[in-house]
């Protein structure tokens, strides 16, 4: 439960950036009566894309943060990363310029990304094969709850990005409770991480590198679509389609139960069909949802966004369980860091490419259709990944072929 609360707090901190990016563009840019993208948004789409890419790129620093959790333990790293990440994000409310705001949230990003990676590892290590997909889905769901809270809060708070960023400080009030209740997973404590983890943080033993490369490709392919797909949705809905802030808040609110359905579907697929089919279905759904979100019609924006949320929810249990089951305890957090870093690079490519393609094609629709192909193509990386359905941790397969513990 403590890991779920930490994940929700991280969701508030990270989704605040997505929720207010349009407000930030208007606050530091110029909105006029023109019909071009810059006039509607306040800043050039390329500038906005580069800024968002810089913020995502900063998350690459979460790799050493996650790797350190294989040396110092999960609990210490989670608490430190949460405090620093939320404090830096909340302080961006006082930013005097656009690039100052970008710098502050970029500094916060690796800390919050470390929280995401390590909280998923904690969920995997606290559960058996039978409940692992469910626990990983719970972590993803609570992250979504945190995102929904900040989105709804934005519709209730005064206009502008500053009140929303200040609200990010609120989860820090739960820190004393978290410090008491968050404990080191027994499997990690038994592994004597300080003695068994690779000497070089971030290193993975040679026998596991090919599987790591396959999962890295999958994580990057997902992020190429979800990075711009979810990040630009507020800018697109409010500045391009002219929707009210309250309407966008309702869309995000609806995403909560839809994401939960996706998680439940993903858990069922992961536990009854397999980890790989679960991820493959989610990848294809992510591409379709991304293309539909920016198709130019309000109904399709709603449907596409929710399809993307549904697919993203379905991916989580299978991908998280596979990543935990393929690799041993002493590098499990490191692998989570690599997947987070891959997601960062994919999102950077997606965000920067989406802005550039949008300027080049005159709209978001063409850019979305091009980038939506990426997650579909990377399903090929799953072909040689071991199917770990039913495995306990540290590579212990089920007692009989196809059995689920």
pLDDT tens digits, residue range 210-237? 899 999 999 999 999 988 888 788 778 8
52-71 mean pLDDT: 82
Is 88 inside any structural domain? yes
β-bridge partners, 396: 392
Give 27-75 as a DSSP string.
Answer: HHS---S-SSHHHHHSS-HHHHHHHHHHHHHGGGGHHHHHHHHHHH-HH
**390 part of a folded domain:** no
| Number of domains within the chain | 1
Residue 219 belongs to some domain of the structure: yes
Q: Can you read off the two tokens belonging to residue 375?
A: 């997650």
Phi-psi region of 100 (alpha: psi -120 to 50; beta: other; left: phi over 0): alpha
What is the distance between the alpha carbons of residues 23 and 234, in angstroms, rounded to a whole number? Answer: 9
Q: How buried is 323 (Cβ within 10 angstroms: 0-12 exposed, 13-18 middle, 19+ buried)?
A: buried
Residue 400 lies in a domain: no
Q: Please indicate, yes or no, if residue 399 is contained in any of the structural domains.
A: no
Output the pTM of the full model.
0.69
pLDDT digits (tens, 9 = 90+) for 366-387: 888 889 999 999 999 898 888 8
Q: Domain range for residue 294? A: 2-184+196-382
What are the tens digits of pLDDT across the range 174-192? 899 988 888 888 777 676 5
Closest CA to 274 of 340, 319, 233: 319
- Is 11 among the domain residues? yes
Determine, yes or no, domain membership for 391.
no
- Asked whether residue 402 is assigned to any structural domain, the reply reads no
The answer on pLDDT for 36 being more than 70 is no
CATH of the domain at 131: 1.20.1250.20
């Amino acid at each position: 439960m403590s890991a779920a609360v930490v994940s929700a707090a991280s969701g508030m901190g990270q989704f605040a950036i997505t929720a207010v990016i349009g407000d930030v563009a208007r606050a530091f840019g110029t909105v006029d009566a023109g019909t071009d993208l810059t006039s509607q948004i306040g800043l050039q789409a390329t500038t906005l894309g580069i800024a968002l890419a810089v913020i995502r790129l900063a998350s690459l620093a979460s790799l050493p943060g996650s790797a350190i959790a294989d040396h110092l333990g999960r609990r210490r790293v989670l608490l430190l990363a949460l405090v620093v990440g939320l404090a830096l994000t909340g302080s961006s409310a006082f930013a005097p310029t656009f690039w100052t705001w970008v710098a502050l949230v970029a500094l916060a990003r690796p800390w919050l990304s470390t929280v995401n990676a390590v909280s998923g590892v904690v969920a995997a290590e606290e559960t058996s094969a039978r409940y692992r997909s469910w626990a990983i889905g719970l972590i993803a769901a609570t992250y979504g709850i945190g995102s929904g809270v900040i989105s709804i809060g934005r519709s209730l708070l005064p206009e502008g990005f500053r009140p929303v960023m200040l609200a990010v400080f609120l989860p820090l009030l739960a820190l004393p409770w978290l410090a008491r209740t968050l404990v080191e997973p027994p499997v990690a404590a038994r592994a004597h991480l300080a003695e068994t983890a690779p000497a070089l943080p971030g290193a993975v033993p040679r026998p596991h590198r090919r599987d790591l490369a396959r999962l890295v490709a999958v994580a990057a392919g997902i992020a190429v679509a979800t990075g711009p797909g979810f990040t630009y949705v507020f800018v697109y809905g409010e500045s391009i389609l002219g929707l009210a802030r309250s309407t966008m808040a309702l869309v995000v609110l609806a995403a909560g139960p839809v994401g939960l359905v996706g998680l439940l579907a993903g858990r069922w697929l992961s536990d009854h069909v397999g980890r790989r089919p679960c991820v493959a279905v989610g990848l294809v759904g992510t591409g379709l949802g991304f293309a539909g979100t920016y198709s130019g019609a309000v109904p399709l924006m709603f449907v596409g966004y929710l399809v993307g949320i549904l697919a993203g929810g379905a991916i989580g249990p299978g991908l998280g369980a596979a990543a935990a089951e393929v690799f041993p305890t002493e590098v499990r957090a490191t692998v989570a860091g690599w997947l987070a870093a891959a997601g960062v690079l994919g999102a950077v490519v997606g965000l920067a490419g989406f802005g550039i393609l949008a300027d080049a094609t005159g709209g978001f629709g063409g850019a979305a259709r091009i980038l939506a192909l990426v997650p579909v193509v990377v399903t090929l990386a799953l072909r040689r990944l071991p199917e770990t359905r039913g495995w306990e941790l540290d590579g212990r397969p089920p007692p009989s072929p196809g059995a689920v513990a």
